[in-house]
Chains A and B, each alone.
Chain A
Amino acid sequence: MDIRLILKSLPALLHGMVLTLNITSVSVLCGLLLAVILALMRVSKNPFFWMPSYGFIFYFRGTPLLVQLFLIYYGSGQFRNMLSTVGLWTFFRQAYFCGVLTLTLNTAAYTAEILRGAILAVPFGEIEAGMACGMSKVLLYRRIILPKAFRLGWQAYTNEVVFLLQATSLVSLITLLDITGVARVIAARTFAFYELFLTAAALYLCLVYGLLFLFRKIEQRLLSHLEPIRT
Chain B
Amino acid sequence: MSIAMLLGLIASWGKLTRSRIGKSVADIYTTVVRGVPELVTILLVYYGMPTLIQDVLGAMDIDFIINLNPFMAGIGTLGFIYGAFATEVFRGAYLAVPKGQIEAARAVGMGTILTFRRVILPQMWRFALPGLANVWMVLIKATALISVIQLPELMRNADIASRATRKPFTFFFAASLIYLLITTGSLIFQKHVEKWADRGVRRV
Q: Mark A residues whose CB is within 8 Å of B.
A: 1, 58-59, 61-68, 70-71, 74-79, 166-170, 172-173, 180, 183-184, 187, 191-194, 197-198, 200-201, 204-205, 208-209
Contact = CB atoms under 8 A, between A and B. Distances in A.
Contact of A67 (B35, B36, B43, B172): B172
Contacts of A172: 39
Given A64-B155, A197-B47, A205 B32 contact: yes
Given A78-B169, A204-B37, A205-B36, 12 more contacts: A58-B180, A66-B155, A67-B175, A74-B168, A75-B168, A78-B166, A169-B39, A173-B148, A193-B51, A194-B52, A197-B40, A197-B47
Contact of B169 (A71, A166, A197, A208): A71
B168 A198 contact: no
Interface of B: 32, 35-41, 43-44, 47-49, 51-52, 55, 140-145, 147-148, 155, 158-159, 162, 166-170, 172-173, 175-176, 179-180, 183-184
7 closest A-B pairs by CB: A194-B48, A75-B169, A64-B144, A169-B37, A166-B37, A74-B168, A64-B141
Contacts of A75: 168-169, 172-173
Given A59-B180, A63-B180, A75-B168, A1 B55 contact: yes
Contacts of A74: 162, 168-169, 172
A205 B36 CA distance: 6
Nearest to B148: A173
B203 to A, nearest CB: 21
